Structure 1
Amino acid sequence: MNMSSTTPRKAAIYLRISLDREMDGLAIERQREQCETLAAYRQWEVVETYVDQSKSATDRTKVRPAYDQMVADYKAGAFDAIICYDLDRLTRQPRQLEDWIDASVFRGLALVTANGDADLSTDGGRVYARIKAAIARGEMERKGARQSAAQLQRAKQGRAPKGMRPFGYTVNGDVIPDEAEAVRAIYRLFTGTDRRESLRSLARGLSGTELIDGLKPRPKHSYVVSVERANRRLAEGKDPRPTKPNGEWSPSTVLGILRNPRYAQMSTYTPKKAQPDGGRRRTWRAQILRDDAGEPIRGQWDAIVDDETWWRAQSILDDTERITNTSGSTKRKHLGSGLYRCGICGAKVTGAPRGYRCAQHVERDDDGTVVVPSLMRSGAQIDSFVIGLIAERLRRPDALRKESLTDQNTATSGVAAAISEQRARILRAQHDYDEEIIEGRDLKRIRDAAEDRIAQLEAERRLSGQAAELAPVLGADDPSEAFLNASLAVQRRVIDALVTVKLLPQPRGKKGFNPDSVVIEWR
């Protein structure tokens, strides 16, 4: 820094506070006053002041708009000096600090702090800045570890996590009746057996822009929470903060409700290290906290939906073939799209304008040019053939009836206990192996047998979960007639529950439908 230059430096002032609870700006103003005093002492011209209020510099994934603008303006040559109250106001990231040090060393940037602790124009100042940044980083990591341990402890105890309350619950986990009813309606309409509402249509129903039976319009949840906070501040004699604007519900908010295991009374916890780059959340399912036997830890709050409803919603959301379009309809146009399988490679076929095709492989000529897809079948005759077989099967005395559905529902609770027993068996065998009571081959034998049994039990649980969906057909007095008159969605579920349909290529040179080209594997 050349203090003898007759041309004063052009300086930028950067002000930041991590959390301004009162939002009165007083903390920022105190920083501003001292930074401007230092600029006047150094006879620098302040060309811009950048302010990030209630913005953290600890988390590198957090966006600091004013900071990002300051970086861009510096690169554009808008100023050649930066003043901040303290170095940790500018950054808590050692990588960012090194960028500013490089700018100081190689481009002549002057960076000073109002508290006099840092001056990057000197080698001593740079050493001090690096040490301070490393210490601040260490303190942040220790604080994060303490907070994570406390959050994990709360989750293991089944206590409600801190933070913004979810729709349907208070902060301490008490159920809010009217909101809970809306949550149940969302799950019921999304997992319906006859007609399913999409995320977009549910959002429109909550917003009141579309009328949906059983779902009442409501104010946006973020707006309700901000009003509650403002009212609490008023009750405490404080000035209320600005409330967030009310508006239309978004499909992503509805998705968050459907994905949240807390509605099924499951405790959740996600370590920060488990989050991928960008801070995006993992799936809600991965956040379920489990005990030593692998079972979900139950929260100290009442469930709004039962386990089967929640898992059924996850199954629908996980379906990669699920249609999500702007019309709000999730109904398919083809009976076997995403359901039938290619008889060559086993992949699920997709709907084509006139039938079905497998996009996993194609036939090519000698030079590699695509000639024709290996599987391209017309759909009408195949669908009629499959529907006829299913209807005929449902006319038989041994077809699934009401009694079997009742038995499945009765056995559901026993399946979960049996799965827990098998997982406990694996843990006991692992313990015996660690204590050198059994050999490694014994551990493998016990574990393989238990895992096979768990797989069988999980299949039974899935089938019992399908019972409610299949009840309109399989529980009818005449299942065959009910199947023939059912909607496309219900017919698909019945087919999926009873058979695997594989399509083989149509034999070349033969016209007309060949039943042998459709392989039916009964479950």
Structure 2
Amino acid sequence: MVVRLGGYARISLDKNGEELGVERQRRDYRQVAGVRPGWEVARDYVDNDVSAFKRNVVRPEFERLLVDLQSRVIDGVIAYDLDRLARQPRDLERLIDVFEERPELVFCTVTNDIDLSTSDGRTMARVMVAFANKSSADTGRRVARKHRELADAGKNGGGFPPFGWKEDRVTIDPDQAALITKAHDDLLAGTRLSTIVTEWQAKNVQTSRNTGKPITRVAVKGILKNPRLAGFRAVKHQKHIGADGKPVMGIWEPICTPEKLDAVIAVLEGVRTQYTTSNQSNNHKYLLSGILRCAECGTRMLANMRSSWKEGSKGSRFFYRCPAVSDGGCGKVSRAGEPIDRHVINLIHDAEAKLKAPKSEAAEWSGAVRLAEVTQEISELIAAMNTKRISATTAIAMLEPLERERDELEYERNKHTVEKIKATAATVDLSEEFERLPIERQRAVILKHVRAIVVHSAGRGARKFNPDLLDVVWAA
């Protein structure tokens, strides 16, 4: 009689993704099964780089193993060691429940001789998993304490090298830093995060894990928000605050300023969206949607592709129109889109050329001194609370108004930073760069100069484009 076993292999950490640890386990338990008469490893269940101790981690192959045992797909389990299968008592109990339902099941490990079909074997398994759980918990506390010491000293922790730095985690990687800097500037100039993700994917940008798969939106967002970009030591993606109440600075070279990083985070998180006006939406597919206004009723005009247009045909591919009465407009004005786009681009080109004349530096933000004072007061209160010089109740009561003022000042600073960067990042050589910009950046360049463009009706019948039928409302 053939006994079909499910072989289970797991390792908690596989930095390089080479699966060498789980492969050793597979080789060992297959060798043991090979010397037992009638035993056959019918399927391998492998959870590589997956913890069995962390409560919030789901092990897909362990779950599949339990299902296959219950549905009689396999006749038992073989693993290198019991702690590969379970380090949480609740996981062991789920496995024991299956063996109690099917006493004929086989259980074997390379390192121990435990029989889950017997009461003594189950008791021994519970004791072993309890000790394994305690060992993991003790290790976790030691590791957490060590990481805290490293964080307090501003030193690097473990794991993969962060994006933007070389293997030593101190020296900047110039290529990756350039990507980050450009992405920051693009975001502050109006580019969508999805556009940046697409650009990075086209360049096959990889994190230090180098999975070979396209980089994800979550990964790019995490990279661009990383506090260490501005020199801060981070713990769980947040600035680490030292005993003195101040953010701990790291020993590595920063890639950007704290002010710029705060502005980028505000844009990515959508904080206080007053940074942009309603007609600066990033969801438009056409250059002047929402910027053009109907001269008859003042409603923002939208764009539509011509249903009859085909590749190679004459005329504009799309048109701008005032919405119908049912959609809030009058529906009386409709104009070919491409001639208007070309005309407006030429107008903006002339306006951009004037910006190239030497200009004085933008005024510095006026609230910098007060923000520094408030930040220092907050740090002193936290330090006093940490050293028990004042009670936590007193400290929190004093902190709340200061934190509100700090948040308001930081918002104003971020707004100033965004506007300052927009003034330079949105300035381009239209003859060379404009066509290569994403649509949201093109609109940002236009909205820097124009508040709206009023479109008058051209009358009935086919007519040549007449720029006199456009009234440009220039920005102050």
**TM-score, normalised on structure 1?**
0.58
**Which residue number corresponds to residue 372 of structure 2?**
417
Letter aligned with residue 149 of structure 1: R
Q: Could you tell me how far apart the structure 2 residues matched to 1:462 and 1:262 are?
A: 18
**Which residue number corresponds to residue 230 of structure 1?**
none
**Which residue number corresponds to residue 220 of structure 1?**
205
**Which residue number corresponds to residue 265 of structure 1?**
231
**Which residue number corresponds to residue 199 of structure 1?**
193
Deviations 1:67-86 (A, max 9, x none): 33322322221133223232
Q: Could you tell me how far apart the structure 1 residues matched to 2:47 and 2:400 are?
A: 57
Q: Which has the higher contact order (CA 8 A, sep 6+)?
A: 2
C-alpha contact 1:204 1:249 (8 A) present in aligned 2: no
C-alpha contact 1:155 1:289 (8 A) present in aligned 2: yes
Letter aligned with residue 229 of structure 2: Y
Change (3 A) 1:46 1:65: same
Change (3 A) 1:100 1:354: same
Measured after TM superposition, the shift of residue 316 of structure 1 is 1.0
Structure 1 stretches lacking a partner, 5+ long: 1-6, 209-217, 227-243, 271-283, 336-351, 356-375, 381-401, 473-484, 493-523
Q: Could you tell me how far apart the structure 2 residues matched to 1:332 and 1:153 are?
A: 54
Q: Could you tell me how far apart the structure 2 residues matched to 1:444 and 1:183 are?
A: 37
Q: Could you tell me how far apart the structure 2 residues matched to 1:186 and 1:77 are?
A: 53
Measured after TM superposition, the shift of residue 116 of structure 1 is 3.7
Percent sequence identity over matched residues?
26
Letter aligned with residue 218 of structure 2: S
Q: Could you tell me how far apart the structure 2 residues matched to 1:315 and 1:47 are?
A: 53
Whether 2:14 is the aligned partner of 1:48: answer no
Name the Cα RMSD after superposition: 4.2
**Which residue number corresponds to residue 141 of structure 2?**
145
**Which residue number corresponds to residue 101 of structure 2?**
106
Measured after TM superposition, the shift of residue 204 of structure 1 is 2.8
Structure 2 stretches lacking a partner, 5+ long: 293-298, 303-325, 331-358, 425-443, 452-476
Whether 2:163 is the aligned partner of 1:167: answer yes
Q: Could you tell me how far apart the structure 1 residues matched to 2:148 and 2:126 are?
A: 33
C-alpha contact 1:13 1:82 (8 A) present in aligned 2: yes
Measured after TM superposition, the shift of residue 164 of structure 1 is 1.4
**Which residue number corresponds to residue 300 of structure 1?**
251
**Which residue number corresponds to residue 322 of structure 2?**
none
Pairing partner for 2:173 from 172, 176, 181 = 176
**Which residue number corresponds to residue 152 of structure 2?**
156
Deviations 1:173-203 (A, max 9, x none): 21012221221111111111xxx22222223
Deviations 1:339-389 (A, max 9, x none): xxxxxxxxxxxxx9999xxxxxxxxxxxxxxxxxxxx99699xxxxxxxxx
Q: Could you tell me how far apart the structure 2 residues matched to 1:422 and 1:379 are?
A: 54
Q: More deviation in 459-468 or 139-148?
A: 459-468
SS of 1:82 mapped into structure 2: strand
Pairing partner for 1:36 from 30, 34, 37 = 34
Measured after TM superposition, the shift of residue 315 of structure 1 is 1.1
Pairing partner for 2:69 from 66, 74, 81 = 74
Deviations 1:116-169 (A, max 9, x none): 442112111111111111110111011111111112221221112322122220
Structure 2 counterparts to residues 18-37 of structure 1, below 5 A:
18=12, 23-24=19-20, 25-37=23-35
**TM-score, normalised on structure 2?**
0.63
Change (3 A) 1:86 1:293: closer
Measured after TM superposition, the shift of residue 317 of structure 1 is 1.3
Structure 2 counterparts to residues 454-493 of structure 1, below 5 A:
454=406, 457-458=409-410, 460-462=412-414, 464-466=416-418, 468=420, 487-488=446-447
C-alpha contact 1:119 1:125 (8 A) present in aligned 2: yes
Q: Could you tell me how far apart the structure 1 residues matched to 2:257 and 2:98 are?
A: 58
Whether 2:218 is the aligned partner of 1:252: answer yes
Whether 2:266 is the aligned partner of 1:315: answer yes
Change (3 A) 1:121 1:168: same
Q: Could you tell me how far apart the structure 2 residues matched to 1:93 and 1:308 are?
A: 45
SS of 2:235 mapped into structure 1: coil
SS of 1:58 mapped into structure 2: coil
C-alpha contact 1:425 1:450 (8 A) present in aligned 2: no
Change (3 A) 1:432 1:447: farther
C-alpha contact 1:15 1:32 (8 A) present in aligned 2: no
Q: Could you tell me how far apart the structure 2 residues matched to 1:433 and 1:18 are?
A: 40
